[in-house]
Amino acid sequence: MNKILLPIRATQALFAIIILGLSGYVANWYNMETTASSPSQINFLVFIPIMTVLTLGYVEGVARFMPRIFNPYIALGLEALNALFYFAGFIALAVFLNGLVFCRGPVCGSARASTAFGAFQWILFSVTGGLTAKEVFFKSGFGGGLGGLRRGAGGAPSTSAPGGLPLEKKEDSAA
């Protein structure tokens, strides 16, 4: 699975840098050229790429270089948070841009591009979150499988004890 994830992670990092640059440009324009401060939708899309870089640092860096402190459930939570935040961010910015009376020039184009890249990030984090969830819940390598159930041949829950011995039903010997 690492062969699939690494290019996706690199794309996530690249898109995060692009979104940070585009949203930062729009926020700077609002703060310097208008009397109003930058909209919260733009500010949110400045925050999310920073969180993405921190998430990728944990998910890739800690997993590779400090595997003893890596927790797959934290990684799954971070993936889900990023997907949720990008979903909320790109929709909020799209609604904001749709409500503007006029939207022209490089600032508007940057905001629209930021919205599009945010949508792509949502898709990418949904995919990697799904792959991480599959790894966490359905592979024994991360946490023992779904809910700690042991899986026998064919994927059915096993009836054997941890040592491989069959579980026996204790009967009352009160006769």
CB 130: neighbour CB atoms within 10 A? 13
Encode pLDDT of 56-97 as tens digits: 999 999 999 999 999 999 999 999 999 999 999 999 999 999
Most confident listed range (22-31, 132-141, 148-157): 22-31
Share of the chain above pLDDT 90, in %: 66
Rounded to the nearest 5 degrees, what angle is found at the Cα of 24, between the Cα atoms of 22 and 28?
Answer: 120
| pTM of the entire predicted model | 0.77
The mean pLDDT value of the chain amounts to: 85
Q: For residues 89 and 26, is the Cβ–Cβ distance under 8 A?
A: no
Residue 149 above 70 pLDDT?
no
> What is the pLDDT averaged over residues 12-39?
94
Are residues 30 and 38 in contact, defined by beta-carbon separation less than 8 angstroms?
A: yes
Residue 145 near residue 138 (C-beta atoms within 8 A): yes
> Locate tokens 């984090």: which residue?
125
Specify the amino acid at residue 25.
Y
Q: pLDDT confidence of 101, banded at 50, 70, 90?
A: confident
**Beta carbons of 11 and 60 less than 8 angstroms apart:** no
With cut-offs at 50, 70 and 90, classify the pLDDT of residue 100. confident
Q: Which domains does the chain have, with CATH numbers?
A: 2-146 (1.20.120)
Query: What tokens appear for 105 in the block?
Result: 């020039």
In whole angstroms, give the CA distance from residue 162 to residue 166: 9
